Amino acid sequence: MSPSQTAAANRKPTPRAASKKRRRSGKWRRGWIIAVLAVLSALPLMFHRHVPNSVGNLGSLLDTFLPWVGLAVPILGVAALVRRSATAGVALLVPLAVWGLMFGHLLVPGKGGGAYDLRVLSHNVDAANPDPAATARELLSADADVIALEEITSADLKVYKAQFAKAYPHVVSRGTVAMWSKYPVEESESVDVGFAWTRALRAEVSTPEGKIAFYVAHLASVRVGASGFTSNQRNETIKQLGQQIAAEKLAGVVVMGDFNGTANDRSLAPITSGLRSAQGAAGYGFGFTWPAKFPMARIDHIMVRGVTPTKAWVMKATGSDHRPVVAEIRI
């Protein structure tokens, strides 16, 4: 080694160089707790089906609000920036990738569209709606061919019938659910889902492209309380409605209503397993419908079998605590 090389090797780094080296290495040393939390936040997404329902129906509760687990990414991302942790930043790619694989397809623009034969609408109008006439006018603006309403009181039913009379000559009402159609309704009946009063109906609508079986349903409500996510009554109504739909003989089926559960909720499987969600197939975004002022879950659905959804969307709030859902379908 030459004298100059020896001198260079023995020369101490300047304070500035040493500080820069420490900062660079520190980015990878700090933030390990944030990194661990980031990886752990991916686990509820990846293994949500394995969370049991035996204690407080926690599995269904997680299923219902599953997309919101992704909020952990921006929250932990801010923490990683504050800590200037490269380790945490890399770890955050894990939940981000899992969330994207599960829900990214819902955020793809330009999905759906094209020719359609029927436009259908479903809305829980809320028994405590202060202005059903105004709600009816909002729904008329959608120009749907078939309108399904849930949670109608006997007094409000008269209001909707009066508002819809001119555009919808064919009406079927059973208990707290009703349906209006521009096309003839050849058959209709109540569907027993285990209540003392009727909360579901079936109607055959004769469209220019053929008969379609329409089901309108309002499943039992769920409650979140000290005992957990209480949904046993709703789950029983799901089973009974699912059996009716599975036995349907017509090829084209449209199921609309307030299911009090999301498509991710495993408890809805008796219904959803044989149907396609119009929002999932042809809508953009999550299509949250409840609560109306700040929707956090899509519990109002239009689902189909034997027909093709071409477009789906959620309307603005109408005065109800739910938002209306609309879909266009091709027969």
CA separation for the pair 142, 167 (Å, rounded): 12
| SS3 (DSSP) at 315 | coil
Question: pTM of the prediction?
Answer: 0.86
Q: What would the pLDDT profile of 210-248 be if each residue is shown by its tens digit?
A: 999 999 999 877 655 555 555 566 677 888 899 999 999
First to last CA, the chain: 85
User: Where do the DSSP E strands lie in the chain?
Assistant: 118-124, 146-150, 170-174, 177-181, 185-190, 200-207, 210-218, 223-225, 228-230, 253-258, 276-277, 300-305, 308-314, 325-330
Of 259, 238, 246, nearest to 301 by C-alpha is: 259
Topology (CATH level 3) of domain 118-330? Deoxyribonuclease I; Chain A (3.60.10)
pLDDT of residue 28: 73
CA separation for the pair 187, 189 (Å, rounded): 7
Six-digit token string for 35: 């990194």
pLDDT of residue 29: 75
In the chain, how long is the greatest CA-to-CA distance? 103
CA separation for the pair 234, 232 (Å, rounded): 5
Q: What would the pLDDT profile of 92-121 be if each residue is shown by its tens digit?
A: 999 999 999 999 988 887 677 789 999 999
CA separation for the pair 308, 291 (Å, rounded): 28
pLDDT of residue 310: 96
Would you give per-residue pLDDT tens digits along the chain (331 residues)? 555 555 555 555 665 554 555 555 566 778 999 999 999 999 999 999 999 877 767 888 898 899 999 999 999 999 999 999 999 999 999 999 999 999 998 888 767 778 999 999 999 999 999 999 999 999 999 999 999 999 999 999 999 999 999 999 999 999 999 999 999 999 999 998 877 778 999 999 999 999 999 999 998 776 555 555 555 666 778 888 999 999 999 999 999 999 988 988 888 899 998 999 999 999 999 999 999 999 999 999 999 999 999 999 999 999 999 999 999 999 9
Six-digit token string for 28: 């990878």
CA separation for the pair 114, 117 (Å, rounded): 10
Domain boundaries, the chain: 3-107, 118-330
Of 61, 26, 115, 9, nearest to 224 by C-alpha is: 61
